[in-house]
Amino acid sequence: MSGSGTGYTSPMHESRLTLARPDDWHLHLRDDALMAAVLPHTARRFARAIVMPNLKPPVTTVEQAGAYRQRILDALPGGMRFEPLMTLYLTESTHPDEIARACDSGFVHAVKYYPAGATTNADSGVRDLRRCHPVLEAMQERGLPLLMHGEVTDPGVDVFDREAVFIDRHLTALRRDYPALRMVLEHITTREAAQFIAESPSHVGATITPQHLLMNRNAIFIGGLRPHHYCLPVLKREVHRKALLAAATGGDPHFFLGTDSAPHPRQAKESACGCAGIFSAHAAIEFYAEAFEQAGALGHLEAFASHHGADFYGLPRNRDTLTLKRKTWTVANELDFGGVPGVPLHAGKSLTWALDDATHP
């Protein structure tokens, strides 16, 4: 492999794969009982995660982010180590002073931009980004990254085109007008997004989810409507999945791991108006290993999962490791989401990589 790895040698035949411990650069943990139920899945695999602020009400201040961080740490089972990297939810009333407080806090690492109404709990998001100019200036000045849900919400735009139109209408101007602003286009889903990011300077990056590497939009309609394959941005055509796989596995430091694992109770998904979000934390790194192996690029998994994100955020790479072993195992049909059932990605199906950990199923 590329020489930077900690223990991986032969892509085809190895039965174990050791990586510097990965981080998840885009995660929804929610709160209360649901958070307590999903957090251990992430903490078993990842050292750190960028925690999304789309709670109800949203996490808009450093004070709220600090309290949320403490609730996460309090919910962590004894003996588990995990560092939540907090974010603020950008609104049109966010004050530039909040950016200064965020940078001084040591625990807020980014600001999340949801176009108003774009997705789950995005109603307090931004209608007109021009109103956030002083905040973006402050972020650019202080080097605090802007994480973007990159979709337009204009009902006249086809749902499958919303990311590509966001790039044309907003992102191109944003990159031009704030040339030093650190930006992450989250959960990219299209060839256009992968190309835009690959051509951007190194302070503009993107996260890629496991579902967008493993599935195309047919997965939403296999033999009937599949609400557990519905997320936003929605899955796209195969040509886009292939472009994302090439971007993720190609060793380009613009691209890094961000699961967008987003738990919703089974009932909220299996509904006349089902919620957007796919839960993948129960097998997140295993899914990526599956995707990278399909692409014949297991040797590049460590860079994508454990190096590029830390480098982008200016944080040290993890010094401990995580080992996967080649072993077929079956994902549970259902998981506990804090007293209610939830359906994990790939429920009831088998995977070929498992955590090398005696307690793993």
Write down the catalytic residue from 24, 123, 260, 356.
260
Determine phi and psi for 95, rounding to 5 degrees.
-100, 145
Rounded (5°) CA angle 110-107-275:
55
Per rule CB under 6 A, is residue 103 in the interface with ligand DOR?
no
Per rule CB under 6 A, is residue 28 in the interface with ligand DOR?
yes
Q: Which of Zn ion, ligand DOR, none sits in contact with 151, Cβ below 5 to 8 A by type?
A: none
Cite the DSSP H helix spans in the chain: 32-45, 62-75, 96-105, 133-142, 162-166, 172-177, 191-198, 210-214, 238-249, 266-269, 284-294, 301-302, 308-313
Q: Which of ligand DOR, Zn ion, none sits in contact with 228, Cβ below 5 to 8 A by type?
A: none
Per rule CB under 6 A, is residue 277 in the interface with ligand DOR?
yes
Per rule CB under 6 A, is residue 219 in the interface with ligand DOR?
no
DSSP 338: S
HSE toward the beta carbon, residue 133, CA cutoff 13 A: 4
- Shortest Å, Cβ 305 to Zn ion: 18
Q: Which of Zn ion, ligand DOR, none sits in contact with 231, Cβ below 5 to 8 A by type?
A: ligand DOR
- How many angstroms from the chain centroid is the CA of residue 35? 16
The 10 Å Cβ neighbour count of residue 93 is 11
Per rule CB under 6 A, is residue 119 in the interface with ligand DOR?
yes
26 vs 69, which CB is nearer to Zn ion? 26
258 vs 299, which CB is nearer to Zn ion? 258
262 vs 301, which CB is nearer to Zn ion? 262
Write the CA distances from 142 to 92, 180, 284, 351, integer angstroms. Answer: 19, 10, 32, 43
Per rule CB under 6 A, is residue 232 in the interface with ligand DOR?
yes
- Shortest Å, Cβ 262 to Zn ion: 6
CB 162 within 8 A of CB 155: no
258 vs 277, which CB is nearer to ligand DOR? 277
CB 92 within 8 A of CB 127: yes
22 vs 258, which CB is nearer to Zn ion? 258
CB 207 within 8 A of CB 257: yes
82 vs 230, which CB is nearer to ligand DOR? 230
Binding mask 247-276 for ligand DOR (x = CB under 6 A): ---------------x-------------x
- Shortest Å, Cβ 100 to Zn ion: 26
Identity at 197, one-letter amino acid code = I
Instruction: Give yes or no: 104 in active site.
Output: no
Maximum Cα–Cα distance across the chain: 55
Rounded (5°) CA angle 166-172-176:
150
- Shortest Å, Cβ 24 to Zn ion: 11
Contact residues for Zn ion (CB under 5 A)? 260
- With the C-alpha atoms ordered 41, 44, 46, 48, is the resulting torsion angle positive or negative? positive
DSSP states along 252-294: -TTEEE---B----HHHHSSTTPPP----GGGHHHHHHHHHHH
Provide the token pair at 49: 């995660």
Among 42, 54, 124, 207, binds ligand DOR (CB under 6 A): 54
Among 42, 61, 120, 306, binds ligand DOR (CB under 6 A): 120
Q: Which of Zn ion, ligand DOR, none sits in contact with 126, Cβ below 5 to 8 A by type?
A: none
Binding mask 133-152 for ligand DOR (x = CB under 6 A): ----------------x---
Residues within the interface to ligand DOR (CB under 6 A): 28, 54, 119-120, 149, 231-232, 262, 276-277
Question: Which residues does the annotation mark as catalytic?
Answer: 260
